[in-house]
Amino acid sequence: MQKERKHIYMACEDYDFCWGRDEVKRFREMWEVGESLINISKSLGRHVNEVAILVIDQAEKKKIEMHGSKVFGQAV
C-alpha cells in the first residue's frame, strides 16, 4: 500500500486475481486468435472481471495487443 489509511475498503475481494502459468498461456492463445473477453472467461471458468484485469496486466507488460472495440464480444 502506498499510504496509510484509517478506514480501508478492499475492492473486489471476492475475485481471484491469481493465475497459473497454464491459465495465462491459454488466455494468451485465445486472445491472439481474437476470442472475446466473455468467451475467454467462460472457457477458463473465471469471472469476466478477473479476465479483464488479466487483459490490463498483460497489455501493460506488452504480452498482448488490445483487440480494439470487440473486447467484450461485440462492437461498441
**Which distant-in-sequence residues (6+ apart) come within 8 Å of 47 by Cβ?**
15, 16, 41
**Which distant-in-sequence residues (6+ apart) come within 8 Å of 73 by Cβ?**
36, 37, 38, 39
**Three-state DSSP class for residue 45:** coil
pLDDT digits (tens, 9 = 90+) for 22-60: 999 999 999 999 999 999 999 999 999 999 999 999 999
| pTM of structure | 0.79
